[in-house]
Each structure stands twice: as structure tokens, then as C-alpha cells.
């Protein structure tokens, strides 16, 4: 980033304290603990924190300026930019910097599931041809997206920016800030439906990324997803559209899909106007074929040759605890516990059934959160799906997963429910044998990484 403090003040129509002339802002920080000398500190305020309490620490760490909603009397050595709302200001600074990057194409990735995987896949494709920047981790909210955009540099030619939401209006604001050249919507499903009152409310909130996109933006949409196709009809008029999916109407699609052992799929990638190319996708679950096609469609938007798209997808490896597969002492562990919507859990159970391990299949399923009035219905449905997934046994964890356990048990599956991780891991470890595979899946707040860490410790200590 390279903005003068005067440009920032003008953009924000802000009041100031101290001298702002001849000051350049090249980096933004919202955390006084990690702030580096020369960075501009934005004092954000939330329900359980207030950055204004740490402005003195920011000054001591070498901040070049402060952006605050109230003047900090104890800070006198550096200028202060005073605004009504520092979160809004952060977005406007990112929006200003984005407007200056005319040589960088920005694609935003939204959707109920698959956002981070598609973002990582797309970045791996684009890096083969362009100086590319991508969202780090899942910094996809009203803080993370502006920080991502502010981290862009003038040499970047492509940016893949993940955008998420937990309230109506959030995606509208994020596309306003990012001004994307391309909007990719992976799907619209049932994740976080409880936060929007109904599936209709969830649909309207997800579709904001299309409704409020720039008129020149290209849309990458899922041809197999019913609500995505509804959004296409409702909001895509006048936009270039690239469809991905399994049907012939998709511009980017796959055919001749074959499972690999023990997991993954080979297929022929088809990109309309660019021909075909073979892909060997070493990821868990068929749902990742859809993610790969979404990433390929983004590559198509950037006019990456199909051979390069296929090569990048074939080299891709899952990570970040999303469909991540690890073998410990001959036991396969599927780490998929970053988050969990009902649709994602069902897809993971389907993938577990297809996993070509010589042993038995186990699943550890934690609570699914933010489902509102549909919570019990969805947990029950997952239990029925688990009972039909070819499992040896289901290990359910958390109060809501009692419903899952009861539903699976009624269907004849061997089930144990646990309220503490230690007992679960002890029982699971006693059951596992070489060649078995276990899926660990649940909402982020269930902290199921603890299952993995404890199980890993037990397995490794056994090897010694």
C-alpha cells in the first residue's frame, strides 16, 4: 500500500490532530501487539475489546499515525485521524487503495461452503501466470477483507479474496470495498441458516455478492446448485457468466470421473473454447470436484491455458483442516473440523463411504452450530445419513449431537455419545486398527482439533 495520510484524511472527511503533511502510509495494523514501526494503527472497537485502550502501546511500538473515533489525549507524538466509526474507516481506506490498483484484477469468492478451498485452488492456478495475492487463512469479514486489500502491492496482477458473512448487508459492503472484477459463488446452502431466520433470508444475504457487484463484474456460478441458479436468473442480467458443474450447460465441467485409491479422483476437465485436459485431484470427497471446477472457472476468467489449470489442480493438496488427510501408523485420519454445515457433513460422510481403506470406517461428529429453529431437524438428518454411510461406529460429541446419535442408533448404527473429549479419544483409540479410517467433523467452536491432537499423541507414543 502507498497512500499519503492527506489522501486518507480527504477520503474519510476526517478531523485531525497533529501534522499530517508529508506522511506516507504503507501498512495498516489493527493489533498493537504485532504492530511494526511505521504502520498506521486503526483502533477498532467490538463487544469485548476496544483498540483505543492500546493507542499508547501502538505509539510506543512505532506507529506512524492513529485512526480513532475519539482523540487520545495521552498520545501527542504522532498524528490522529478522528472518524465516527473506525471499522467503516478501515473499509474506506481499503476501498481507496483498491481503486488505485487498475492493473490488478480482483476475484472475490463467496458461498456457503468451499470458499477457502476454492480460494486456495484458484490462487495455485493463477500463480503460474501472474503475481498473485490471496487471503491468508480465512480473513474474510469486515476486518479481514480490508486488511487483505491493504496488503496488496502495485506489482500484484491478481488477487483472490475470500468474503464471508454472518449478518445481512455484510456481503454488500464487502463487494463495495473490494470492487471485484469477478465474483465467484461456490454454492448457496444451509450453513449458518439460524442467523438469518430462514433459508429465504439466508439466500437473500448470500445473493448480495451478486446484487451489489460492479456492473462490469463477471459471475462464476454453480450450475448444479438450485439457489445459485435462482440468483443467476435474478441478478446476472448484463453480466458475463461462467457456469461450472456437471451438466452440459456448464462452461467448465468434468467428465469420465474415476475414484483413485485410497482417495481422490481423476477426471477430464472441459473448458468451453479451450478444450480438455486430464486432472488427478488428490483431495477427499466428490464435493471437492465442484470446488476444483469453480477454481478452474476462475482460471478461465483470467485466460489461463487449460493445461496449466489442470496441472495446478493435479498438484493441489488440501490443508487448513479442510478435507485434509493424514496417515498415522497405518490409520487414516480425515481432518475436516474447521467448520460444519449440514450439507458439508453429509458430503463428508459420502466421501468417507467412498474412501478405499482396507479397514473399517469411523466418524467423530460434533455439534453443528448456528442452525436456529432447524437445529434439531438437521442433526437428526445427519444421524440418518451417518447410519447409511457404511460406518463401523459413530462417535458423537456435544449436547446437540445427542439428536444425531439417537437418529443413527434408531437406524441400527452402533453409536456412542460423549460429553468430554478425553473419554471419546480413549474409546476411539481402543477401537482403531491398522487400515481403518476416521473422519473428524464438527463446527469450529467444538474445537475438534483436540480429538486429532490427542489421538495423534496416542498413536505416536504407541509406535515408540
pLDDT digit string (tens) for 235-277? Answer: 999 999 999 999 999 999 999 999 999 999 999 999 999 999 9
Say what the pLDDT of residue 234 is. Answer: 97
pLDDT digit string (tens) for 79-108? Answer: 999 999 999 999 999 999 999 999 999 999
Question: 3-state DSSP call for residue 191?
Answer: coil
Whether domain 101-315 has CATH 3.90.1300.10: the reply is: no
Say what the pLDDT of residue 383 is. Answer: 97
Say what the pLDDT of residue 106 is. Answer: 98
Q: How many residues does the chain have?
A: 464
Give percent of the chain above pLDDT 70.
99
- 315 versus 198: which is more confidently predicted? 315
Question: 3-state DSSP call for residue 24?
Answer: strand
Considering the chain, what is the average pLDDT of its residues? 94
Q: What's the CA gap between 47 and 268, in Å, rounded?
A: 50
Say what the pLDDT of residue 464 is. Answer: 53
Look at phi and psi of residue 13 and say left if phi exceeds 0, alpha if psi is from -120 to 50, else beta: left
pLDDT digit string (tens) for 306-324? Answer: 999 999 999 999 877 788 9
pLDDT digit string (tens) for 400-450? Answer: 999 999 999 999 999 999 999 999 999 999 999 999 999 999 998 999 999
Asked whether the beta carbons of 237 and 215 are under 8 A apart, the reply is no
Mutual angle of helices 375-387 and 342-354, in 10-degree steps: 10
pLDDT digit string (tens) for 102-157? Answer: 999 999 999 999 999 999 999 999 999 999 999 997 789 999 999 999 999 999 99
HSE-CB of 307 using CA atoms within 13 angstroms:
0
Q: Which three cell numbers stand for residue 425?
A: 479419544
pLDDT digit string (tens) for 21-31? Answer: 989 999 999 99
Q: Residue 105's beta-bridge partner residues?
A: 158
Say what the pLDDT of residue 340 is. Answer: 84
- C-beta atoms surrounding 428 within 10 Å: 22
Taking CA atoms, 214 is separated from 159, 178, 218, 235, in Å, by 16, 10, 9, 12
Mean pLDDT across 372-396 = 95
Name the CATH topology of 324-463: 3.90.190
Same fold, 3-85 and 324-463: no
Among 325, 359, 268, which Cα is nearest to 452's?
Answer: 325
Among 242, 263, 266, 246, which Cα is nearest to 254's?
Answer: 246
Q: What's the CA gap between 132 and 124, in Å, rounded?
A: 9
Domain ranges of the chain: 3-85, 101-315, 324-463
Among 378, 284, 374, which Cα is nearest to 340's?
Answer: 378
pTM of the model: 0.91
Which CATH superfamily does the domain covering 3-85 fall into?
MurE/MurF, N-terminal domain (3.40.1390.10)
Amino acid at each position: 500500500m502507498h497512500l499519503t495520510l492527506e489522501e486518507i484524511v480527504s477520503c474519510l472527511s476526517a478531523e485531525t490532530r497533529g501534522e499530517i503533511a508529508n506522511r506516507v502510509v504503507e501498512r495498516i495494523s489493527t493489533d498493537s501487539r504485532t504492530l511494526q514501526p511505521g504502520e498506521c494503527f486503526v483502533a477498532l472497537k467490538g463487544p469485548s475489546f476496544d483498540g483505543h485502550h492500546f493507542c499508547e502501546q501502538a505509539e510506543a511500538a512505532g506507529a506512524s499515525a492513529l485512526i480513532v473515533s475519539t482523540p487520545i489525549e495521552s498520545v501527542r507524538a504522532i498524528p490522529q485521524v478522528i472518524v465516527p466509526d473506525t471499522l467503516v474507516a478501515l473499509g474506506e481506506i481499503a476501498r481507496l487503495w483498491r481503486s488505485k490498483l487498475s492493473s490488478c484484477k480482483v476475484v472475490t469468492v463467496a458461498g456457503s461452503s468451499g470458499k477457502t478451498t476454492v480460494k486456495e485452488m484458484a490462487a495455485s492456478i493463477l500463480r503460474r501466470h501472474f503475481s498473485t495475492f490471496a487471503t491468508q487463512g480465512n480473513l474474510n469479514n469486515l476486518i479481514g477483507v480490508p486488511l487483505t486489500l491493504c496488503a496488496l502491492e502495485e506489482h500484484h496482477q491478481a488477487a483472490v479474496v475470500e468474503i464471508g458473512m454472518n449478518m445481512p448487508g455484510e456481503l454488500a459492503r464487502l463487494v463495495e470495498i473490494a470492487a471485484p472484477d469477478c465474483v465467484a459463488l461456490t454454492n448457496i446452502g444451509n450453513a449458518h441458516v439460524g442467523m438469518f431466520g430462514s433459508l429465504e433470508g439466508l439466500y437473500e444475504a448470500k445473493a448480495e455478492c451478486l446484487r451489489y457487484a460492479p456492473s462490469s463484474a463477471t459471475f462464476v456460478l454453480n450450475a448444479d446448485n438450485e439457489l445459485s441458479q435462482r440468483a443467476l436468473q435474478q441478478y446476472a442480467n448484463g453480466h458475463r457468466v461462467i457456469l461450472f458443474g456437471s451438466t452440459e450447460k456448464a462452461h467448465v465441467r468434468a467428465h469420465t470421473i474415476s475414484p483413485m485409491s485410497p482417495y481422490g479422483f481423476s477426471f477430464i476437465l472441459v473448458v468451453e473454447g479451450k478444450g480438455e485436459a486430464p486432472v488427478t485431484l488428490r483431495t477427499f470427497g466428490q464435493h471437492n470436484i465442484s470446488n476444483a471446477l469453480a477454481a478452474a472457472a476462475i482460471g478461465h476468467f483470467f485466460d489461463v491455458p487449460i493445461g496449466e489449470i489442470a496441472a495446478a489442480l493435479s498438484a493441489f493438496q488440501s490443508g487448513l483442516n479442510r478435507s485434509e488427510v493424514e496417515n498415522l501408523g497405518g490409520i487414516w485420519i480425515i481432518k475436516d473440523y474447521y467448520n460444519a454445515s449440514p450439507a458439508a457433513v453429509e458430503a463428508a460422510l459420502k466421501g468417507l463411504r467412498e474412501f478405499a481403506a482396507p479397514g473399517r470406517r469411523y466418524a467423530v461428529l460434533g455439534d453443528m452450530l448456528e442452525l436456529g429453529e432447524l437445529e434439531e431437524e438437521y442433526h437428526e438428518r445427519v444421524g440418518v445419513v451417518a447410519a447409511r454411510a457404511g460406518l463401523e461406529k459413530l462417535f458423537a460429541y456435544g449436547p446437540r449431537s445427542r439428536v444425531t446419535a439417537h437418529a443413527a442408533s434408531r437406524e441400527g448404527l452402533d453409536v456412542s455419545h460423549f460429553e468430554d473429549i478425553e473419554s471419546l479419544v480413549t474409546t476411539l483409540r481402543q477401537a482403531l486398527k491398522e487400515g481403518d479410517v476416521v473422519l473428524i467433523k464438527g463446527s469450529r467452536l467444538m474445537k475438534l482439533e483436540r480429538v486429532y491432537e490427542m489421538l495423534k499423541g496416542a498413536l505416536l507414543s504407541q509406535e515408540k
